[in-house]
Protein backbone atom coordinates (compact mmCIF):
# COMPACT_ATOMS: atom_id res chain seq x y z
CA UNK A 1 0.00 0.00 0.00
CA UNK A 2 1.38 3.36 -1.01
CA UNK A 3 -0.40 6.34 0.62
CA UNK A 4 -2.29 8.65 -1.69
CA UNK A 5 -0.91 12.15 -2.09
CA UNK A 6 -2.58 14.92 -4.02
CA UNK A 7 -0.76 18.11 -4.97
CA UNK A 8 -2.82 20.90 -6.49
CA UNK A 9 -1.29 23.60 -8.66
CA UNK A 10 -2.50 26.09 -11.19
CA UNK A 11 -1.76 26.13 -14.90
CA UNK A 12 -2.77 28.41 -17.78
CA UNK A 13 -5.60 26.02 -18.60
CA UNK A 14 -6.87 25.60 -15.03
CA UNK A 15 -6.11 23.51 -11.95
CA UNK A 16 -3.79 20.51 -12.15
CA UNK A 17 -4.02 17.72 -9.56
CA UNK A 18 -0.90 15.60 -9.29
CA UNK A 19 -2.00 12.27 -7.87
CA UNK A 20 0.58 9.86 -6.49
CA UNK A 21 0.20 6.53 -4.66
CA UNK A 22 -2.72 4.09 -4.58
CA UNK A 23 -6.18 5.22 -5.62
CA UNK A 24 -8.51 2.56 -4.23
CA UNK A 25 -11.48 1.86 -1.98
CA UNK A 26 -9.63 3.31 1.01
CA UNK A 27 -8.17 6.43 -0.59
CA UNK A 28 -10.76 7.42 -3.21
CA UNK A 29 -12.74 9.48 -0.65
CA UNK A 30 -9.65 11.69 -0.16
CA UNK A 31 -9.62 12.53 -3.88
CA UNK A 32 -13.34 13.30 -3.75
CA UNK A 33 -12.81 15.64 -0.79
CA UNK A 34 -9.97 17.36 -2.61
CA UNK A 35 -12.08 17.74 -5.75
CA UNK A 36 -14.81 19.45 -3.73
CA UNK A 37 -12.36 22.24 -2.86
CA UNK A 38 -11.10 22.79 -6.43
CA UNK A 39 -12.46 25.99 -7.98
CA UNK A 40 -13.27 25.70 -11.68
CA UNK A 41 -14.60 28.34 -14.02
CA UNK A 42 -16.39 27.61 -17.30
CA UNK A 43 -13.95 26.99 -20.13
CA UNK A 44 -11.16 25.81 -17.85
CA UNK A 45 -9.80 22.28 -17.98
CA UNK A 46 -9.25 20.22 -14.85
CA UNK A 47 -6.16 18.07 -15.43
CA UNK A 48 -5.44 14.99 -13.34
CA UNK A 49 -1.76 14.12 -13.63
CA UNK A 50 -1.55 10.37 -13.01
CA UNK A 51 2.17 9.90 -13.71
CA UNK A 52 2.72 8.98 -10.04
CA UNK A 53 -0.30 6.71 -9.77
CA UNK A 54 0.77 3.27 -8.56
CA UNK A 55 -2.55 1.49 -8.36
CA UNK A 56 -6.12 2.26 -9.37
CA UNK A 57 -9.07 -0.04 -8.75
CA UNK A 58 -12.77 0.33 -9.56
CA UNK A 59 -13.23 2.77 -6.67
CA UNK A 60 -10.42 4.85 -8.14
CA UNK A 61 -12.08 4.76 -11.55
CA UNK A 62 -15.29 5.96 -9.87
CA UNK A 63 -13.39 8.87 -8.34
CA UNK A 64 -12.02 9.80 -11.79
CA UNK A 65 -15.58 9.71 -13.15
CA UNK A 66 -16.68 11.93 -10.24
CA UNK A 67 -13.99 14.43 -11.23
CA UNK A 68 -15.32 14.40 -14.78
CA UNK A 69 -18.89 14.95 -13.57
CA UNK A 70 -17.83 17.83 -11.32
CA UNK A 71 -15.96 19.54 -14.16
CA UNK A 72 -18.85 19.05 -16.58
CA UNK A 73 -21.31 20.45 -14.02
CA UNK A 74 -19.22 23.65 -13.81
CA UNK A 75 -18.96 24.06 -17.56
CA UNK A 76 -15.33 22.98 -17.56
CA UNK A 77 -13.47 20.19 -19.32
CA UNK A 78 -11.51 17.43 -17.69
CA UNK A 79 -8.51 15.47 -18.90
CA UNK A 80 -6.22 12.73 -17.68
CA UNK A 81 -2.48 13.08 -18.25
CA UNK A 82 0.28 10.46 -18.18
CA UNK A 83 -2.04 7.54 -17.40
CA UNK A 84 0.04 4.49 -16.33
CA UNK A 85 -0.19 1.34 -18.47
CA UNK A 86 -2.24 -0.64 -15.94
CA UNK A 87 -4.85 2.07 -15.62
CA UNK A 88 -4.91 2.56 -19.39
CA UNK A 89 -5.68 -1.14 -19.67
CA UNK A 90 -8.62 -0.80 -17.21
CA UNK A 91 -9.88 2.27 -19.07
CA UNK A 92 -9.74 0.25 -22.30
CA UNK A 93 -11.62 -2.73 -20.80
CA UNK A 94 -14.32 -0.49 -19.38
CA UNK A 95 -14.63 1.58 -22.58
CA UNK A 96 -13.65 4.69 -20.63
CA UNK A 97 -10.69 5.39 -22.96
CA UNK A 98 -13.41 6.83 -25.19
CA UNK A 99 -15.02 8.82 -22.36
CA UNK A 100 -11.98 10.50 -20.81
CA UNK A 101 -9.74 12.91 -22.69
CA UNK A 102 -6.25 11.39 -22.46
CA UNK A 103 -2.94 13.21 -22.82
CA UNK A 104 0.54 11.69 -22.84
CA UNK A 105 1.74 14.20 -20.23
CA UNK A 106 0.72 17.28 -18.25
CA UNK A 107 2.68 19.60 -20.51
CA UNK A 108 0.50 18.60 -23.44
CA UNK A 109 -2.62 18.73 -21.29
CA UNK A 110 -1.93 22.27 -20.06
CA UNK A 111 -0.85 23.77 -23.37
CA UNK A 112 -2.86 26.98 -23.85
CA UNK A 113 -5.82 26.52 -26.19
CA UNK A 114 -4.44 28.78 -28.95
CA UNK A 115 -1.79 26.14 -29.59
CA UNK A 116 -3.27 23.26 -31.59
CA UNK A 117 -3.82 20.25 -29.32
CA UNK A 118 -3.63 16.73 -30.64
CA UNK A 119 -5.53 13.90 -29.10
CA UNK A 120 -8.09 16.18 -27.48
CA UNK A 121 -11.73 15.64 -28.28
CA UNK A 122 -15.01 16.62 -26.77
CA UNK A 123 -16.09 14.44 -23.88
Partner 1 sequence: MCRTDQVPNEPSDRDQDAGATDAAFTSLLEDSAEELYEQAPCGYLSTLMDGTIAKINNTLLDWLGLPRQRVVGRMRFTDLLSVGGKLYHETHFAPMLRMNGEINGIALEIKAAGGSRLPVLVTSKVKTSSDGEPILIRTTVFDARDRRTYEAELLRRHREAEEARRQADADRARLQEALEVLQQSLLPATLPAVPGMEAASYYHTASPDLLGGDFYDLFPLDGTRWAFFLGDVCGKGPKAAAVTSLTRYTLRGAAMHDRDPVSVLRTLNAVLHERYNSGDARYCTSIFGFLEPDGDRTAVQLASGGHPSALIQRADGSADYLPTPGGMLIGILPDAQFTTARTVLSRGDTLLLYTDGLTEARIGPGRDLYGEDALRDFTRAQPPAGPQALVAALTTLLTGFGDGLDDDTALLALGIPATPPAAVGDPLA
Residues binding partner 1 (CB under 8 A):
25, 57-59, 61-62, 65-66, 69, 86, 92-96, 98-99
Q: Which is nearer to partner 1, 51 or 58 (CB)?
A: 58
Q: Which is nearer to partner 1, 16 or 101 (CB)?
A: 101
CB of 66 to partner 1, least distance (A): 6
CB of 39 to partner 1, least distance (A): 20
Label residue 49 exposed, middle or buried (CB < 10 Å: 0-12, 13-18, 19+).
buried
Q: Which is nearer to partner 1, 9 or 25 (CB)?
A: 25
DSSP three-state, residue 104: coil
CA distance readout (Å), 21 to 31, 34, 119: 12, 15, 26
Give the DSSP letter of residue 58: H
Q: Residue 96: CB partners within 8 Å, gap ≥ 6? A: 61, 64, 65, 90
CB of 33 to partner 1, least distance (A): 15
Q: Which is nearer to partner 1, 16 or 78 (CB)?
A: 78
CB of 4 to partner 1, least distance (A): 17
CA distance readout (Å), 33 to 6, 93, 112, 116: 11, 27, 28, 33
Amino acid sequence: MIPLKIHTRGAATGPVLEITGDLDHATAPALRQCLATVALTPGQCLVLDLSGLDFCDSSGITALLTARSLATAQGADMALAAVPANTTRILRITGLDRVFVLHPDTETATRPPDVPVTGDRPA
